[in-house]
Amino acid sequence: MFETEKAPADNSRTMSVARIYDYLLGGSNHREIDRQAAEQIKLLFPELEDWAWCNRGFHQRAARWLTSELGISQFLDIGSGLPTQNNTHEVVQAINPAARVVYVDNDPMVAEQATKLLQGVDGTVFIPGDLRDSDSVFSNPELRQLIDFSEPVGLLMTAVVHFVSDKSDPWRLVARCLDKLSSGSYLVLSQGTYDKQTPEVVDRATTLYQNANEQLYPRGKAEVERFFEGLELLPPYEGAKPGVTFGGLWGAEDPELADDDASRALYAGVARKP
């Protein structure tokens, strides 16, 4: 059994990080308790919805880039979230209809919705699983049927590692997943940051998430860069040096326009495994 930050609580009275995110993205799978938490955070950080869209936009731009420019045709999307419009398989299969996507999430409601939605969709599967127990995820027969580990994989971990505490060592957990992938695979990772936020915003958000199924651990830039140790970071946009950047800037056509308060609450990077 892997280590969890908190014992699972009664689902009806516990906020779910997946449902809060769904609410922010305009979905329909959320409860009053999730909406209230989001609205409480918005009182201090009105850009919260823009932040969610900024993160989702990064996820989609990076998946598209890996498919169209780098020829990646198989993806592992860990912490995939509730199915939204333009989910990963829709983005990558629009470019390469033969692309395969394995979705993984530890929220039972995500599992229920995603399994229904993906029924009959070629090249996709949903697997209930936890980043803190990647050995079970990687040994899943359905995953192994879809992913060829002798070929490069796009490992998508967007807005998920900030739900794993330092105590559980998310850096080791990410490295453990990468160890299983071949050279030429890519890590796409984003994480919420406190670097440009007031202590009040950070305190409000982390306190509210104490009542959620997963707690929130925002991090600084150096801690986010640690996720990419030993990898070759890509330049986030044309003319930039390789590195981790604020979320909206990655893949931006006009980085100046993309630089806003929502973007500055998210770090993002894409890197190749040598």
DSSP state of 270: E
Q: Which of 63, 102, 160, 216 binds ligand SAM (CB under 6 A)?
A: 160
Instruction: Assess 105 for contact with ligand SAM (CB under 6 A).
Output: yes
The CB-nearest residue to ligand SAM is 81
Listed as own residue / partner, the contacts of 38-47 with beta carbons closer than 8 Å and 24 or more positions apart are 40/204, 40/208, 41/201, 41/204, 41/205, 41/208, 43/204, 44/198, 44/200, 44/201, 44/204, 45/197, 45/201, 45/204, 45/205, 45/265, 47/260, 47/261, 47/262, 47/265
Q: Which is nearer to ligand SAM, 50 or 107 (CB)?
A: 107
Instruction: Give min distance, CB of 242 to ligand SAM, in A.
Output: 22
CB under 6 A: which stretch of 35-43, 62-70, 125-133, 242-250 binds ligand SAM?
Answer: 125-133
Centroid of chain to Cα 83: 13
8 Å CB contact between 50 and 260? yes
Q: Which is nearer to ligand SAM, 133 or 195 (CB)?
A: 133
Interface mask toward ligand SAM for 47-86; x: CB under 6 A: --------xx--x------------------xxxx-----
Instruction: Give min distance, CB of 159 to ligand SAM, in A.
Output: 4
User: Between residue 186 and residue 245, which ones bind ligand SAM under the rule CB under 6 A?
Assistant: 214
